[in-house]
Structure 1
Amino acid sequence: MSIVITTVNVNGIRAAVRQRNERNAGMLRWLSEAPSDVIVLQEIRASHKQAHEALAPVLEGGWHLTMTESSVKGHAGVGVLSRIEPAAVRTGFGSAEFDDLGRYVEADFGAPGIDGVGELTVGALYLPKGAADTPPDAAKFEEKKRFLDEFGAYLAGLIDPDGRVQDGGARDRGVVVGGDWNIAPAEADIKNWKGNLTSPGFLPHERAWVAGLLASGWSDVVRDLHPEGPGPYSWWSWRGKAFDNDAGWRIDYQLANAPMAAAARSAVVDRADAYDLRWSDHAPVTVTFG
């Protein structure tokens, strides 16, 4: 048995599903061919009603959508799209500041049939981009630091030092948190790392935060399966020749606790074959477990 989990920032679900040209039918065609059992979505940027309308063809075909929208219209929004209806859903991570901004939701599923793994929890994260600690964007810098502090504490409470869940239940519960982390963890995760040493997403304290998560028992399963850099990148700017030159960032990834990390078998970035075939500035990142 196996379970396939994908994370993708859709850059606006209504735009993602729209046919862009004769060769690019948008996200719905990709969904019709994707092997995924669970897809975590970021930057839905739509209300529940609008998102369900955009995804109506796949929802009518049996998929289930759990999501949380942002209180700021047209901003953020995350969701879990799954072939099996979740047994339970939790929105946010107990933050008075961030829980209504559409940045985290998690869903519980039954045992995926993988040796050593009991029930499964999958989280969808859209971490703030932040900014450099200089005017006029210093407020965004501080906001991201507060998010890292609060969400880091939440993740620390989710697993113990051995990477096992601390929920008072089965200690072999699998946990995967996928999303747009908006942090490239290391030099191998960004094409032009030397030119981005002072850029948000590659600042020392951000990379140290990710390193701390990995030291605490979480595993970056995409990097574990692709230990040699550079990449695989998952985001390329729409501007210039970034995509054509593969001048990207690896900011979309999946962190897993010990039972799921041990079951990770393959990881693929579904990079479009050409610039005009893209339906988002991010590419889906898919991991097969089991």
Structure 2
Amino acid sequence: MKLISWNVNGLRAAVKHGFVTTFNELDADFFCVQETKLQAGQIELDFPGYYQYWNYAERKGYSGTAIFTKHEPLNVTYGIGVPEFDDEGRVITLEYADYYVLTCYTPNSGGELKRLDYRQQWEDAFLTYINSLSANKPLIFCGDLNVAHENIDLKNWRSNHHSAGFTDEERTKFDRLLAAGYTDTFRHFYPDQTDIYSWWSYRGHARDNNSGWRIDYFITSQQLDSQLLNARIHNEIFGSDHCPVELDIILPNH
């Protein structure tokens, strides 16, 4: 099975920059999208053979997620069951007989870390949620998690030590998540790989200089480690300030 995750930074804008062509070329079993920035009825995408699931933020032009899949789920859940976190359209969970697939757009701590406390509370609630799922069956979750975990996950780590996405608090929460029984699939295959990123600022010719951050992930329950085939970061694909990331894994075809 091939799974793709992409923060498109506005799906309507991405469609104008080749999203549909990229979608068709990648031909994924699951195509997960974050930061759709739209409401119901504002876009219509016709992808034959795919089921579509959307979670919209209450605030217009903000956040939002979607999953396109060739495999009809048994059940679909929107959000994590915590009202103060579920009005921004950040999580969709698909349940299958033997596993879950979940997409997530983690809150950004923001300029001057104004949302860091909110982000920390989110992390706790999200981990509780995924742990409740993984107690039943393994899960695959993906998305823009808005954290560069280690120094090798961003170009300028020294100067960004206290920036949103690379604070000690955020990285510690990610440590705790992995320690709870989850695998960062890209690092599973490429533990020491440097200079591979999934997001670049629009400022300062960052993408031209490959001055980026790896903040988009596929995370899996550790019991799926033996089924992992490969993880990729498609930094050759444009259309957003993020690029798509991919997971190839052996899963039952329901």
Q: Which TM-score band applies after superposition, normalised by the shorter structure?
A: over 0.9
| Cross-structure match for 2:30 | 38
Structure 2 partner of 1:147: 122
For 1:149-168, list aligned pairs within 5 A.
Answer: 149-158=124-133, 165-167=134-136
CA displacement 1:82-139 (0-9 Å, x = unmatched): 11222210011111201121111111235xxxxxxxx22110100011136x5xx53x
Q: CA shift at 1:155, angstroms?
A: 2.5
- Aligned alpha-carbon RMSD (Å): 1.5
| 2:190 maps to 1:226 | yes
1:53-94, Cα deviation, whole Å (9 max, x unpaired) = 1x22x2xx2211101100011100011111122221001111
Partner of 1:186: 150
Q: Is the 8 A contact 1:4 1:286 kept in 2?
A: yes
**Does the 8 A contact of 2:195 with 2:210 survive in 1?**
no
Task: Within 5 Å, give how 1:122-271 maps onto structure 2.
Answer: 122-131=101-110, 138=114, 140-158=115-133, 165-167=134-136, 173-271=137-235
Instruction: After TM superposition, give the deviation of residue 206 of structure 1 in Å.
Output: 0.5
- Distance in structure 1 (CA, Å) of the matches to 2:233 and 2:146: 16
Query: Is the Cα–Cα contact under 8 Å of residues 80 and 106 in structure 1 kept in the other structure?
Result: no
Query: 1:49: which partner in 2?
Result: 41
Residues 63 and 88 in structure 2, CA contact (< 8 A), matched pair in contact too: yes
Secondary structure of the equivalent of 1:32? helix
Query: Does structure 1 residue 8 correspond to structure 2 residue 9?
Result: no
TM-aligned CA deviation for residue 231 of structure 1: 4.5
Q: Could you tell me which runs of 5 or more consecutive residues in structure 2 were left unpaired when the two chains were aligned.
A: none
The question of 1:86 aligning with 2:73 is answered: yes
**Residues 241, 37 of structure 1: alpha-carbon distance in 2 compared, 3 angstrom cutoff:** same
**Partner SS, residue 286 of structure 1:** strand
The letter of the residue matching 1:95 is: V
Q: TM-score, length-normalised on structure 1? A: 0.82
Determine the C-alpha separation between the residues in 2 that align with 1:127 and 1:231.
23
Matched residues in 1 for 2:38 and 2:159: separation?
34
Deviations 1:131-171 (A, max 9, x none): 36x5xx53x1221122112112222333xxxxxx313xxxx
Query: Counterpart in 2 of 1:18?
Result: 16
- SS of the residue aligned with 2:199? coil
Supply the AA of the counterpart residue of 1:254: F
Q: Secondary structure at the match of 2:121?
A: helix
User: Residues 231 and 90 from structure 1, CA distance in 2 versus in 1: closer, same or farther, beyond 3 angstroms?
Assistant: farther
CA gap of 1:259–1:35, structure 2 versus 1, over 3 A, is: farther
Residue 287 of structure 1, aligned match among 247, 251, 254:
247
The CA deviation string for residues 250-287 of structure 1, in whole angstroms up to 9 with x for no partner, is 000011002323211111111136xxxx2111100001
Q: Which runs of 5+ in 1 are unaligned?
A: 20-25, 111-118, 159-164, 168-172
For the residue of structure 2 that corresponds to 1:50, the secondary structure is coil
Letter in 2 for 1:5: L
Question: Which stretch of structure 1 is more off in the superposition, 40-49 or 280-289?
Answer: 40-49
- What do residues 15-38 of structure 1 show as CA deviations (whole Å, max 9, x unaligned)? 11114xxxxxx1111111113100
Question: Alignment identity in percent?
Answer: 32
